[in-house]
Amino acid sequence: GQQLNQSPQSMFIQEGEDVSMNCTSSSIFNTWLWYKQEPGEGPVLLIALYKAGELTSNGRLTAQFGITRKDSFLNISASIPSDVGIYLCAGMRGSQGNLIFGKGTKLSVKP
């Protein structure tokens, strides 16, 4: 099945730094979801996006639905050690269909 391209694959940053990651597809999506997954646990939904150009925040996290409808971006401001984990993007085409997932961006934060 199709998968989304997430980049970077991994990031090593210092506590307090800002983080940016993205997710791209060759197809147009009308839904983008961002999840965080900690080791040995299920993904937790962070932000959902439904409209091209939409910018949505959840605390220090901000995600954007790309205007081309083929990409989405996630930013984390002032990172803290508990931000460590794998960030997964997921997209859906149309209103009938299943989610397609990226392989994730692994974030490591040095105190």
Element (H, E) at 21: strand 19-24
Other C-beta atoms closer than 10 Å to the C-beta of 5 total 13
CA dist 3 and 103 (Å) reads 8
Q: Both tokens of residue 14?
A: 């210092």
Minimal distance, residue 85 CB to another protein, in Å:
14
| Contact predicate 50/34, CB 8 Å | no
Q: Give the interface with another protein as residue ranges (CB under 8 A).
A: 1, 3-4, 30-31, 33, 35, 40-45, 48, 50, 88, 90, 92, 95-104
